[in-house]
Amino acid sequence: MLTRRRTLLGLAALPLGAWAPACSQSDRRPTPAASSNTDHLPAATSSADAAKVRWAGLLAAREKLRPLHTRAGKPQPGEWRYEHTETGQTFEEYVRGRPTVPTADRRAIVVQPIGPFDEAQHKVLELTTDYMSRYFGLPTRREEALPLTLIPASAKRVHPTWGDKQVLSQWVLDEMLPSRLPKDAAALIAFTTSDLWPGKGWNFVFGQADLRARVGLWSVYRYGDPSKGDAAFKLTLRRALKVAVHETGHMFSLEHCTAYRCVQAGINSLEEEDRAPLWACPECATKIVWATSADHLPRYEKLRAFCETAGLQEEAAFFAKSLDVLRTDP
């Protein structure tokens, strides 16, 4: 168990090669039951009247978006929900749970590269940074890359069976990132091409985040080679975008989605991740715009434009449909 951590897409090593939980949830807090009474909900603005109007608008938008989304359905063997019992989290439950959200002084998402990137990997990094700014509606910037030489030998290993060189993700979260968390950062997300493992008993992980410290880390080491043509680049890009917004969503207190096919759903394998959509469901999308004081229409327009430019046609079409339904009369 990784204390106060969420670990995405992991493989355990007890014994080596056995599947393990992809996302530990030891920091999960009890969530009160949902209520239609909004009087006790924390206001997103200083004006109570404006907050009530915004709240009503968010609920109306959620209902417009709902028909576009596919319910999660019965989990199949090997999938996350087949192996893990989670209750999910509605928008109302999210707000009543007093989530960690950006503040006036801490609104930036900061991306911290670690180690070398080739040209194609660097392009994935650039596009991921851009997408995160559109997805969360927050200023997002990329820092200069930190060298792998900053990581001591005690936080590196060669996998005993596969021979992959790996970096200890817990060391990065505990020792490397907290002191580099900028004062204006709502979240600091490290991005690396190195393989990761979180500690004893694990083979590898793709991503890991510390909810309390507002730092996270993810790797594209196992996401394919984006330099091997257009299809390979788009596959790596989609995977990177999904893990980036998923992990950052956790840092803003979003629990795993259990109701819909959603980017915030738990993932147990790379195959399951490839089946997952890039978009958030109506519950999770509403959480995001409430938490970041954003609006659905400009958010979806920016996401549509990104996907169209990046050649992600399925996603561009979905965001265009979302815009169409939001623009219809009640």
Phi, psi for residue 140 in degrees, rounded to 5: -130, 130
CA 108 to chain centre: 15
Q: Active-site residue 83, yes or no? A: no
Q: 18 in helix, strand or coil? A: strand
Q: What are the helix (H) ranges across 1-79?
A: 48-65
- Distance, in Å, from the CA atom of 267 to the CA atom of 249, rounded to the nearest integer, reads 14
| Sheet of strand 16-19, all strands in order from the earlier edge strand to the far edge | 16-19, 11-13, 202-204
Q: 56 in helix, strand or coil? A: helix
- Distance, in Å, from the CA atom of 328 to the CA atom of 23, rounded to the nearest integer, reads 38
Catalytic residue selected from 79, 92, 93, 247 = 247
How crowded is the C-beta side of 243, counted as CA atoms within 13 Å? 38
Return the residue matching tokens 């897409």: 9
Strands 5-8 vs 195-197: parallel, antiparallel or unpaired? unpaired
- Distance, in Å, from the CA atom of 312 to the CA atom of 136, rounded to the nearest integer, reads 19
Q: What is the DSSP string of 301-324?
A: HHHHHHHHHHT-HHHHHHHHHHHH
So which residues are the catalytic ones? 247
